[in-house]
Amino acid sequence: MSPTTKLSALEKVLGRLDDLDSISLSNLVQRLARERSLLETVFNTIREGILVIDQNGIIEYANASAAKLIGLSLKDQGQAVLWKLVPELILTLDISSDGEYRAEFVVTRDLELNYPETRYVRLYLMPIKDVNDDDLESKHYAVIISDVTELQLSTREQIENEKISSVIMLAAGVAHELGNPLNSLTIHLQLINRQLDKLNDSIEKEKIKKQLDVCTGELERLDGIITHFLEAIRPSPPDFQDLDLLKTLEEAFDYLGEELNNAGINVDIEVSDDLPIVMADGNQIKQVFFNLITNARESMTSGGTIKVRTRSDDDYVYVLIGDSGVGIKEENLSKVFQPYFTTKKSGHGLGMMIVQRIMRDHGGQIGIDSQSEVGSVFTLQFPQKHRRIRLLES
């Protein structure tokens, strides 16, 4: 080593080892152990995952966050290969056929991990440069893994909400424009009816009046459809009041009871009598129940069973509505809440979108578990009253 060569701090310490007595050596080892323990504690408190790998992807170090994110056991450090734990990297990085990675630059990748749980992560991989390391055959890389699941889901939800809002505005505009010619037709039918009243009674006159009555009735029906449609896609903000979910659910089943009986559908309800009261808009929540029960009925073409279960925890109340219908195909699960998506011949594809929007307006969520040809379960999650009050205050 030339006189001008820089020595690392570790090399300076190692160079003095021969000059140390046993007590000084023991003190030095204890000091190094304490510093290592401190560094381990610091790295394990960092939220981001930190890895050190060699050019073969072998994980030589992982902090607690990294181990949790990629499903790494501590005993596997020094043996586990990053490319095998995160196989998506093989597709996006320039890894040779023998498993080596030799890049000299920083790369970043956004990945979806499915093990040990589904997470979205942002991964930074950068070479570690050691000015004192002349061994060019041995390369190491630092890997920083950031969990961006909440950001990803929030962005998706925002995009979905914007998409739904644009569709609602378009639909509302079309419905409004339809109202103008309907009003004009109503006025002209009234004028024709008045002209008929001035004519002498005859068989022809009665026939025409009946035909006019049919036209008037159909116009009124169309006007009612448009009115209800606009109310559905542009509801007023929720009027939060204390609400008994069981009573609201009972009212929904009472209203649809005859329809369910005619379809040969049984209703199996097991609920908790002490289900907590929630703060919600009774009319909007009743619409949620109507839509889900109607969907359940329509999914069972030759009878079946609708099951209702409830439960609660410290923060939420859950209402589960299940059916024994045709279920939802796996490829369609992600589309259920999209506007105008429907698998029914006569469906308009807005019902589930409206359900999801109402639940979100109430600070709640709706989840789906479904299997094709087996049935579906919709889980409604309502914040309890104390949590709802905190949300309103914030």
Residues 262 and 386 in one domain: yes
Residues 6 and 111 in one domain: no
Q: Is the pLDDT of residue 4 over 90?
A: no
Residues 212 and 259 in one domain: no
Confidence of residue 124 (pLDDT cuts 50, 70, 90): very high
Instruction: Please answer whether residues 192 and 210 qualify as being in contact, where contact means their C-beta atoms are separated by less than 8 angstroms.
Output: no
Q: Is the pLDDT of residue 132 over 60?
A: no
Q: Which of 147, 182, 206 is the last residue of a domain?
A: 147
User: How confident is the prediction for the chain on average, in pLDDT?
Assistant: 82
Q: State pLDDT tens for residues 226-238.
A: 776 666 666 678 8
Residues 176 and 317 in one domain: no
Q: Where in the sequence is the domain holding 374, given as residue range(s)?
A: 241-393
pLDDT of residue 310: 94
Q: Is the pLDDT of residue 18 over 70?
A: no
Residues 383 and 256 in one domain: yes
Pairwise pLDDT comparison (194 vs 267), residue with the higher score:
267
Q: State pLDDT tens for residues 276-326.
A: 999 999 999 998 999 999 989 988 888 899 999 999 988 899 999 999 988
Residues 246 and 381 in one domain: yes
pLDDT of residue 317: 93
Confidence of residue 22 (pLDDT cuts 50, 70, 90): confident
Residue 11 has, within 13 A of its CA and on its CB side, a CA count of 7
pTM: 0.49
Residues 58 and 16 in one domain: no
pLDDT of residue 288: 93
Q: Is the pLDDT of residue 52 over 70?
A: yes
Q: Which of 184, 212, 233 is the last residue of a domain?
A: 233
Residues 217 and 132 in one domain: no
From CA 96, how far away is CA 57, in angstroms rounded?
Answer: 11
**CATH number, domain at 372?**
3.30.565.10
Q: Is the pLDDT of residue 177 over 70?
A: yes
From CA 377, how far away is CA 318, in angstroms rounded?
Answer: 12
Pairwise pLDDT comparison (58 vs 203), residue with the higher score:
58
Q: Is the pLDDT of residue 82 over 90?
A: yes
From CA 334, how far away is CA 339, in angstroms rounded?
Answer: 12
pLDDT of residue 303: 87
Confidence of residue 35 (pLDDT cuts 50, 70, 90): confident
Residues 250 and 219 in one domain: no
Q: Which of 78, 112, 147 is the last residue of a domain?
A: 147
Instruction: Please answer whether residues 346 and 282 qualify as being in contact, where contact means their C-beta atoms are separated by less than 8 angstroms.
Output: no
Give 265's strand partners: 304
**CATH number, domain at 199?**
1.10.287.130
Residues 281 and 387 in one domain: yes
Pairwise pLDDT comparison (57 vs 209), residue with the higher score:
57
> In the chain, how many domains are there?
4
Residues 253 and 381 in one domain: yes
Q: State pLDDT tens for residues 322-365.
A: 999 888 888 888 788 877 677 766 666 678 888 888 998 898 99
Q: Residues 6 or more apart from 138 whose CB is under 8 A from it?
A: 54, 55
Rg (CA), the chain: 34
**CATH number, domain at 103?**
3.30.450.20
Residues 229 and 262 in one domain: no
